[in-house]
Amino acid sequence: MSEAIISFVGLDVHHDSIAGGSAPEGREEPRFFGTMVPQWAALSKTLSRLGPPTTLKIVYEAGPCGYTLARQRRAHGYACEVIAPQK
């Protein structure tokens, strides 16, 4: 049985940093949770503070970083999508 999504996470991914924010389900205000180095350990630690992987929905903008981040997140149980905001 899968858990319900309780938080939506947006990542702004760059070559030298990842900035992120989360918006809980419902009408609560989204919040910026910080900027980190683009490394697996730093991102995993930050995401673990937001909740279990099955309760988060992660999105980030398609760009020069490719789909590596999405594949890594999916392999660890996160729902992760790469989006194209112009569409």
Stated pTM of the model: 0.85
Tell me the helix, strand and coil percentages in the chain, rounded to 5: 25, 35, 40
User: In which band, very low, low, confident or very high, does the pLDDT at 2 lie, cut at 50, 70 and 90?
Assistant: low
- What does the CA dihedral 87, 43, 67, 79 come to, rounded to 10 degrees? -70
Residues 13-66: pLDDT tens digits?
Answer: 888 999 999 998 888 899 999 999 988 899 999 999 999 999 999 999 887 677
DSSP 67: T
Which region, left, alpha or beta, applies to residue 51 given φ > 0 means left and ψ of -120 to 50 means alpha? left
